[in-house]
Structure 1
């Protein structure tokens, strides 16, 4: 598992450009805007709002994107992308995550509609590795697939941006990307609404010939009942400045997110045949550990590992919410 904290150089660059004492009002407006379900364009209307976003939200979104990219790396350990397309890039969070995880990245294209976000992304990129310093940061509306850069790309990422498109436009975008990206990672807020939207986008991707690498261990309909939704969480450490800006009282927060990891149907490799995806935090009792699972046959189920099975119990204790359960542990 890669480090899910902001890289040192990025954290320093954000701290230099986004001082809490200057951004309190903008951070409050940002939080209120997201609670009111405003779009980013409405919630982050100016340079002060963009700086507040970087200081208050970037640590959490970076952690969630990195966690999703880790799922791709686990499913395809030989994957070494050279080209990355970051759609709805904001301050470049996903580009930083990809370039940090894969040193093989040599070319990054960021598409972002906000001039203030593009300016901050370019500013922050100067603190990054060569692929980020020479990134192509361009104006672009992800609602218009025909505006995407020409040619294939190894990895495309849409992080916390698809949620702002209407569902038809989101489906068109993802279907278009399936035809030009070797792998596609989508990360969205971990809400019932966004889970429902991801399931619709998932169908569009499958219809376009995609293969699902995560989180679904199957290509059938989602087996979760109405009112339930697939998501997971990553814990984010808060600096003192981060706590001050968000009005927090504890040195961490849990970012809940939903995601999809897809690859084009022509990519090498087979479906994951594991024991299933862990849908909830494991339930640990004195004599056993229990997992709720979405299984490879498209059904929901449970696995229980007794403490008397010492080797299996020890291995199960290292698994968490969102992990795949190895086939030999499912019981």
Structure 2
């Protein structure tokens, strides 16, 4: 797999370039307005991202977080299908194309890439930013209404990131069904909230009914063992904060953690993790507490102590979202 640091650096540099001509106060104001007014349905007349200034500000604010969340999910997916590289990719509702950058950070080489979105200014800026990434210079950026009328050409991989929250229930179902009909593999990413998790589970169930197997994060394709309304499954990706982030959020830390929920499903042979760490590990004196989702469809807390030797050292290094046990470690 590629080193994700280089695409991330190129993306940040490209975003700095598009912000160069936008006064900082205008950029921060656009982001604050868009965060306050970005609501749940695909626009029927004019997109909320109205012009280049809106799109540039929002891309600088959200693209790094979307990139890191999608890249993290794709990393888990790639580990479950280690001998596969997608030869084509459709990013549905992709806007400025953060998920396409994450795909290039996960798998080397060029591929056919299509980005579909309703907002023409977002597509135009995505095309401009993509010039900094050789793997995306031939990507197609196409305007399309995302919903019940959507049809997709056959493709190896479909990504749908932070889109389902913008759609009505019927449009969400149609989008997932269209992805399942067109793709060999599908990745759905949503915000790491109870509502985002519920949308992911809804999509997960539809993909399984369409004949897909879950590759990640779940170690099985059975029903999620979390009782509805009691908890939600989500993960975290660390994002370097830009000056715009710090200005909008009045924060001083150089990073923030993007919480997200996801499902990666495929028609390919799959080797899911034996178990997945579904909460941040708790490190205590001489022991590590791990909350796991296991292949037998259960949630379980396990305690790994010093007497477990190498496994204890692996547990101290384990992160939220990691497979367990690590490859090569004793069970």
Quickly say closer, same or farther: Cα 1:206–1:31, change in 2 above 3 A: same
1:145 Cα deviation from its structure 2 partner: 5.3
In the TM superposition, residue 245 of structure 1 has moved relative to its aligned partner by 4.3
Identify which of 39, 42, 45 aligns with 2:50: 45
Residue matched to 1:18: 19
Give the Cα separation in 2 of the matches to 1:223 and 1:100: 32
Mapping 1:72-111, distance limit 5 Å? 72-111=77-116
> Which of 113, 116, 136 is the equivalent residue of 2:118?
113
Structure 1 pair 65–323 and aligned structure 2 pair: CA distance change class (3 A):
same
Aligned pairs for 1:180-195 (under 5 A) are: 180-195=182-197
In structure 1, list runs of 5 or more residues that go unmatched. none
Within 5 Å, give how 1:145-156 maps onto structure 2.
146-148=150-152, 150=153, 152-156=154-158
Please list every run of 5 or more consecutive structure 2 residues that lacks an aligned counterpart in the other structure. none
Matches within 5 A, 1:166-245: 166-225=168-227, 226-245=229-248
Q: Distance in 2 between matches of 1:303 and 1:104?
A: 40
- Displacement of 1:177 in angstroms is 1.8
Counterparts of 1:209-288 in structure 2, within 5 Å, are 209-225=211-227, 226-264=229-267, 267=268, 269-272=269-272, 274=274, 276-288=275-287
Between the aligned partners of 1:133 and 1:146, the Cα distance in structure 2 is: 25
What corresponds to 1:291 in structure 2?
290
Describe the SS at the equivalent of 1:80.
coil
State whether structure 2 residue 147 is matched by structure 1 residue 143: yes
Q: Deviations over 1:71-113 (max 9, x none)?
A: 1111112221121111101111111111232223321101011
In the alignment, is the contact (CA less than 8 A) between 1:175 and 1:204 conserved in 2?
yes
Output the TM-score relative to the length of structure 1: 0.90
Q: Partner of 2:321 in structure 1?
A: 322
Taking structure 1 as reference, are residues 219 and 193 closer, same or farther at Cα in structure 2, changes over 3 Å only? same
CA contact (8 A) 1:174 1:201 kept: yes
How many Å separate the matches in 1 of 2:112 and 2:217?
27
How many residues align? The count is: 322
Alignment match, 2:63: 58
Counterpart contact for 2:273–2:324, Cα < 8 Å: no
Q: For the aligned residues, what is the CA RMSD?
A: 2.2
- Superposed CA offset, 1:115-160 (max 9, x none): 110110111111111x311111111122135432x3x211111111
Check conservation: 1:125, 1:132, Cα contact below 8 A: yes
In structure 2, how many angstroms separate the alpha carbons of the residues matched to 1:241 and 1:90? Answer: 20
Rounded Cα–Cα distance in structure 1 between residues aligned with 2:78 and 2:302 = 25
Do the aligned partners of residues 124 and 53 (structure 1) sit closer, same or farther apart at CA in structure 2, a change above 3 Å counting? same
